DNA sequence: CTGAAAGCGCTAACAG
DNA sequence: CTGTTAGCGCTTTCAG
């Protein structure tokens, strides 16, 4: 049997309340008593039971983090940002993978709520109605990280994806391209349909260029699929040779697909990538890219969550972080 | 106030014990009663409080996972394996980053134990005495994943790193190399000093080749450091042109450093990489490499942990998984 | 098949 | 500055 607060109290000849005060840093304890208690704690190897504490105090100092897939570097970098700030504020993290399946997302939220997390960080390319409904039943704050809420209701931390896409496309247009392939993740996902694609179209229209449906290529978000689909781009009529990808996995997949089949970047194709996670950082040629501050997205989201959990007044719950376009070698100079 | 088991009991005109039985799938409940209770649960939106349950049952169905840095793909892929099996057995995961700092590792183990995790998965390149001592105070099973215990005491899941290093070096020797650079992570870490380096030396000696200290290059484990240190290899007397790296970050860092400075792989340098995580998978030329089954390492470790937590008899607590050497394009054919 | 009752280990008033 | 006393919401005997 593990040693409890009672054992310490008995050993130190004080009440459990006093031990509790010492453990929780309450100042109303005479230094001598404090020392005596601390000694007993040390001697007995007492370790406070966070579960009992959680039950009594109704706070678990634990936050739930739901992520599509932690093995994808975009999410693992975000998660690291979340984790560091969580540590700073002494929260633990319960991490779960949803694979972006709505059913699973709902299950996980339910599950985390059952564990009595004090707050939650949620990541996905889209918020379904079911998820939205589930979140509404929660009595704890939930912050979206790198996740778009088209209804602009939920607290969130993002960059302006539409503007970023617009800027990427414009970059290509400015360097002379008139036909730009938009290699995107599923349009069933808000972030692609309602944001990045909108930016793509806006840039085109603003330049007086036609929106050609055949240049819009919908893929899933996997590297492998993008890799295998290089030829869909290569076989496009009129051979458009500029590509903007909605994320790293797609950009790098296409880049490698093209190169492994004898085509060159940027000579044959110019590519702009989105995100620039560690995965994209190591490929060559280095990718001209929208650099999303992944770590910061996670860190700021967690910081926002701490404020919400503490009941602090937050002036703006929809945080937009800056991004930048970095020119490297996947476009001609 | 959230709805409790009492509310459901009152609503259904049964005792809380009966509600508990229904919730926990105990068969000793008359179908009619069960249905009545289930209806009330549904109607009231009752959600069992896992914290209270944990306190009463002394099981939290939560396991702690301590990882050096989740944003490193090696670890995030291992973590995904752990998470999937955890989900399968209905465990949640508390994930924490240690940055491989002993002090932090000890703190985290203490912290997770306080949270009453039912078991733990631990990852690091070395197990310090402090960590070992801390683990000894735990009354729960702890399994090492991708983490070497030189004392062979703790339950663990690994590949045979020494044999893998031996095989990598032998591969280079067999293709004619006599001077092979060993680009390694810190030798303060067991996995490098007591295992991979041992394999390197064994291969050399077996081939009657001298062990040249100057060819053994100690780096930290970061991509950036390796990238910046390409010249240490390029400037080596006699220009050895075969390299074996102890992990992906080092291999890819050196590869890119070399290439960005006008050298070619495999023409100027032949490289064998270790791990082959997603990060290594996307670089070109594709790396001839020791392929470590990352996901499986995590999955098997978690499976082992479930057995240990269930008190099942385990025939072998030191699991060694197979690895393979895959030939690709960072060596001449 | 069901209910009563005793905790699990700790926090948080409330007294003193 | 310290002790007493209720719970927190649930599991788990033990009876019946």
**H helices, E strands: number in chain B:** 15, 12
| Among A59, A85, A72, CA closest to A301 | A85
In a domain, A172, yes or no: yes
Q: How far is the CA of B17 from the C1' of D11 (A)?
A: 9
Using CA atoms in the order A295, A299, A302, A303, what is the torsion angle rounded to 10 degrees? -160
The answer to whether B63 touches B120, Cβ cutoff 8 Å, is yes
pLDDT band at A1 (very low <50, low <70, confident <90, very high): low
Whether A205 and A274 map to the same domain: the answer is: yes
Whether A191 and A284 map to the same domain: the answer is: yes
Q: How far is the CA of A70 from the C1' of C14 (A)?
A: 48
The answer to whether B215 touches B179, Cβ cutoff 8 Å, is yes
**How large is the average pLDDT for residues A262-278?**
95
Whether B167 and B241 map to the same domain: the answer is: yes
Whether B186 and B242 map to the same domain: the answer is: yes
pLDDT band at B99 (very low <50, low <70, confident <90, very high): very high
In a domain, B332, yes or no: no
Number of domains forming the structure of chain B: 3
Cis-peptide, bond into residue B285, ω within 30° of zero? yes
| Among B314, B312, B295, B276, CA closest to B84 | B295
User: Residue B193 has what pLDDT?
Assistant: 97
For residue B170, pLDDT over 80 is answered with yes
In a domain, B117, yes or no: yes
- Name the 3-class secondary structure at B55: helix
pLDDT band at B168 (very low <50, low <70, confident <90, very high): very high
Query: What tokens does B240 get?
Result: 């050895």
In a domain, A331, yes or no: no
The answer to whether A294 touches A277, Cβ cutoff 8 Å, is yes
Calculate the alpha carbon distances from A135 to A9, A110, A113, A122, A153 in Å: 42, 9, 10, 10, 11
User: Residue A2 has what pLDDT?
Assistant: 82
Among B45, B60, B92, B123, the strongest candidate for a mutation testing the A interface, having the largest count of A CBs within 10 A, is B92
Cis-peptide, bond into residue B266, ω within 30° of zero? yes
Query: What tokens does A124 get?
Result: 């996905």
pLDDT band at A185 (very low <50, low <70, confident <90, very high): very high
Whether A210 and A178 map to the same domain: the answer is: yes
Question: What is the rounded average pLDDT for all residues in chain A?
Answer: 95
C9 C1' closest Cα residue = A52
Containing B328, the helix (H) or strand (E) segment is: none
Residue A172's CB: how many other CB atoms inside 10 A?
24
Whether A168 and A135 map to the same domain: the answer is: no
Q: Give residues lining strand D (CB < 7 Å).
A: A 13-18, 21, 27-34, 52, 55-56, 58; B 1-2, 4-6, 16-17, 20-21, 23-24, 46, 48-49, 52-53, 55-57
Whether B109 and B178 map to the same domain: the answer is: no
Q: List all residues of chain B from 214 to 233 with a beta carbon under 8 Å from chain A.
A: 223
Calculate the alpha carbon distances from B226 to A77, B223, B251, B267 in Å: 20, 5, 8, 20
Whether B140 and B182 map to the same domain: the answer is: no
User: Residue B1 has what pLDDT?
Assistant: 64
Q: How distant is the alpha carbon of residue B11 from its chain centre?
A: 48
User: Kind of pairing, strands A288-291 and B156-158?
Assistant: unpaired
Whether A166 and A248 map to the same domain: the answer is: yes
Question: Which residues 6+ apart lie within 8 Å of A169 measured at CB?
Answer: A180, A182, A199, A200, A203, A204, A244, A272
Tell me the CATH number at B14.
Answer: 1.10.260.40
Whether B302 and B275 map to the same domain: the answer is: no
Containing B155, the helix (H) or strand (E) segment is: none
Tell me the CATH number at B226.
Answer: 3.40.50.2300
Residue B130's CB: how many other CB atoms inside 10 A?
13
Q: Which residues of A touch B282 (CB under 8 A)?
A: 223, 252, 256, 279, 282-283
In a domain, A53, yes or no: no
In a domain, A194, yes or no: yes
**How large is the average pLDDT for residues A3-16?**
90
User: Kind of pairing, strands B180-184 and B216-218?
Assistant: parallel
Does the global pTM surpass 0.85? yes
Question: End-to-end alpha-carbon separation of chain B, Å?
Answer: 70
Using CA atoms in the order B113, B115, B121, B126, what is the torsion angle rounded to 10 degrees? -50
**How large is the average pLDDT for residues B32-51?**
92
**How large is the average pLDDT for residues B155-177?**
97
- Name the 3-class secondary structure at B236: coil
Whether A165 and A286 map to the same domain: the answer is: yes
The DSSP secondary-structure symbol of B194 reads I
In a domain, B54, yes or no: no
SS3 for chain A, per residue? CCCCHHHHHHHHCCCHHHHHHHHCCCCCCCHHHHHHHHHHHHHHCCCCCHHHHHHHHCCCCEEEEEECCCCCHHHHHHHHHHHHHHHHCCCEEEEEECCCCHHHHHHHHHHHHHCCCCEEEECCCCCCHHHHHHHHCCCCCEEEECCCCCCCCCCEEECCHHHHHHHHHHHHHHCCCCCEEEEECCCCCHHHHHHHHHHHHHHHHHCCCCCCHHHEEECCCCHHHHHHCHHHHHCCCCCCCEEEECCHHHHHHHHHHHHHCCCCCCCCCEEEEEECCHHHHCCCCCCEEEECCHHHHHHHHHHHHHHHHCCCCCCCCEEECCCEEECCCCCCC
Percent of chain A surpassing pLDDT 90: 89
In a domain, A141, yes or no: yes
Q: How far is the CA of B26 from the C1' of C2 (A)?
A: 12
pLDDT in tens, A100-119: 999 999 999 999 999 999 99
Whether B202 and B274 map to the same domain: the answer is: yes
Question: What is the rounded average pLDDT for all residues in chain B?
Answer: 96
Enclosing domain of residue A226: 161-291
């Amino acid at each position: 049997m593990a040693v409890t607060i009672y054992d310490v109290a008995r050993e130190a000849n004080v009440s459990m309340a006093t031990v509790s005060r010492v453990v929780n840093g309450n100042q109303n304890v005479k230094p001598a008593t404090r020392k005596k208690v601390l000694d007993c704690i040390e001697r007995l190897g007492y370790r406070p039971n966070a579960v009992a504490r959680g039950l009594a105090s109704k706070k678990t100092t634990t936050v739930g983090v739901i992520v599509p897939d932690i093995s994808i570097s975009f999410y693992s970098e975000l998660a690291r940002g979340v984790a560091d700030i969580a540590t700073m504020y002494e929260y633990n993290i319960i991490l779960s993978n949803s694979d972006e399946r709505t059913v699973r997302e709902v299950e996980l939220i339910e599950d985390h709520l059952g564990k009595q997390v004090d707050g939650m960080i949620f990541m996905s390319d889209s918020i379904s109605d079911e998820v939205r409904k589930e979140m509404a039943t929660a009595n704890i704050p939930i912050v979206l990280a790198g996740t778009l809420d088209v209804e602009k209701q939920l607290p969130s931390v993002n960059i302006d994806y539409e503007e970023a896409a617009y800027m990427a496309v414009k970059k290509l247009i400015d360097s002379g391209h008139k036909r730009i392939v938009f290699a995107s993740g599923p349009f069933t996902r808000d972030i692609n349909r309602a944001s990045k694609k909108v930016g793509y179209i806006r840039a085109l229209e603003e330049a007086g260029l036609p929106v050609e449906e055949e240049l819009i290529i919908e893929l899933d978000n996997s590297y492998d699929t993008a890799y295998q689909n290089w030829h869909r781009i290569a076989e496009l009529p009129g051979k458009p040779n500029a590509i903007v990808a909605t994320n790293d996995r797609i950009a790098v997949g296409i880049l490698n697909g093209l190169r492994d089949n004898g085509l060159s970047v940027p000579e044959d194709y110019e590519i702009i990538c989105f995100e620039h996670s560690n995965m994209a950082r190591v490929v060559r040629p280095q990718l001209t890219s929208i650099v999303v501050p992944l770590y910061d997205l996670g860190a700021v989201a967690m910081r926002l969550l701490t404020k919400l959990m503490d009941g602090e007044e937050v002036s703006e719950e929809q945080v937009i972080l800056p991004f930048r376009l970095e020119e490297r070698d996947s476009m001609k100079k």
